[in-house]
Structures are given as structure tokens and as C-alpha cells.
Amino acid sequence: MGKPAETDRRPLKSLSHSFTLDIVVGFNSQADADQFRAELTERMKKFQLELHPEKTRLLEFGPYAIDQRQWRGEGKPETFNFLGFTHICVKKRSNGRFTVLRQTIRKRLQTKLNEVKAELQRRMHEPIPEQGKWLRAVVGGHFRYYGVPMNQPALTIFRFRVGWLWHRSLSRRSQNGRVHWDRMRRIITRWLPVPSVCHPYPLRRMGVVT
């Protein structure tokens, strides 16, 4: 007879996984939205998943939300955060048509500025050109992601705050090393990109302007 197969008696490790997914789904009526949410909840239960109770919201949003809520005396439509932007229902001043205003989430903006501040402290004694190259990449990358129509004020604030943090860091390199703002403005102009819209509306990207 052959030798009995040996059994691996090592204890099994318990693995725990956490899956998250952020989505935004739009419907023409609240009834459709309620039905979708109920069916999605049941579907997820089959896979031992669930909707986050604090992050799952049903809100009135879209072309008619402003007028309908105003007619009911309920104030402005709610906003929501998604992919780094706060989404807001607004009407264009030029023609009064509905559009979605996307603004950089304030918390994300402040978090990034805190990261820049910490890194500037670490790079404090590097030559200005080296710091400038790094900051150019940081500011440029920020603009390439958040450079959407109507978000220019947030982009301008980010560039201004980065310049202010840079001036503060350079002025602390020595007791007599304070950089005058006239010189600092030239440094900022030399190294920090100006705000720009990197993601125009689809019709403009395709050259269809009416």
C-alpha cells in the first residue's frame, strides 16, 4: 500500500476584504430612484454587500430642481461631492440655462496645501530652481485634474496659496533671508503655471460651437 497522504495542519488564515465603489445615478422621477435603490439593496445582499447608510443619499438635482424647490419654498438644491468636486445646481448668468457647477472640494484643496507646506519644509534649503521645478509639476498636475469650466476661482486660490507658502518657506531659510514680494512675484511668475481650463465642455472639445 502506498504511504498515506500527509495533511497540512497549519491553521488557516482568515482574510477580510473591503470593497468600495462610488457611483452617481440619475432618474427622471423619485419613484424610479426609490425602486432602483430597493432593488440594488436586495441585489447586494446576495453577495454579502451593503450600501453605506451615511454616504447613500437621494437628492433632487438637475435642470428643474432649482425652480421646483423655489416654488415649494424649500431653498436651493442640495450639493454632493464626487471625484474631488462639489457638484452644484446653478443657472448661467449669460442665458439663464441650467448647468452643473463643479468646484474643488474645500477639504481636498486644504489637504493638498498641507502636503505642499510639509514638502516645502523638507526642501527648504534646495536651490530655488529645484524647488520651482517641483512646484511647477505640482501646480500643473493640480490644474490638469481640476481645470474644468467655472472652477477657475478655486484654481486661482490654489496657485496663490502655494505662492504664499513658498514665500514663507524661502523667507525662513535664514534670519536675514526674507524675500521681498517684488522678487517673489517674479519667482512665482517664472515657475508657477497660471490657471487654465484643461477639460472644456464636450462641444467645445469637438469644435461644435453654436
Mean local confidence (pLDDT), 157-163: 98
Write down the pLDDT at residue 19: 61
pLDDT range class, residue 21, cuts 50, 70, 90: confident
Q: What is the mean pLDDT of the chain?
A: 87
Write down the pLDDT at residue 63: 87
Write down the pLDDT at residue 1: 46
Query: What sign has the CA pseudo-torsion 119, 124, 129, 130?
Result: negative
With H, G, I as helix, E, B as strand and everything else as coil, classify residue 4.
coil
Question: For residue 92, what is its C-alpha cell?
Answer: 448661467
Is pLDDT above 80 for 58? yes
Write down the pLDDT at residue 17: 57
pLDDT range class, residue 14, cuts 50, 70, 90: very low
pLDDT of 85-136, one tens digit each? Answer: 999 999 888 888 899 999 999 999 999 999 999 999 999 999 999 999 999 9
Write down the pLDDT at residue 173: 84
Query: What sign has the CA pseudo-torsion 38, 40, 43, 44?
Result: negative
Least confident of 59-68, 117-126, 133-142, 171-180: 171-180
Is pLDDT above 50 for 12? no
Question: For residue 180, what is its C-alpha cell?
Answer: 521681498
d(CA 81, CA 170): 35
pLDDT of 163-174, one tens digit each? Answer: 999 999 999 987
Domain boundaries, the chain: 30-104, 106-201
30: Cα within 13 Å, side-chain hemisphere? 6
pTM score of the predicted model? 0.81
Write down the pLDDT at residue 48: 87
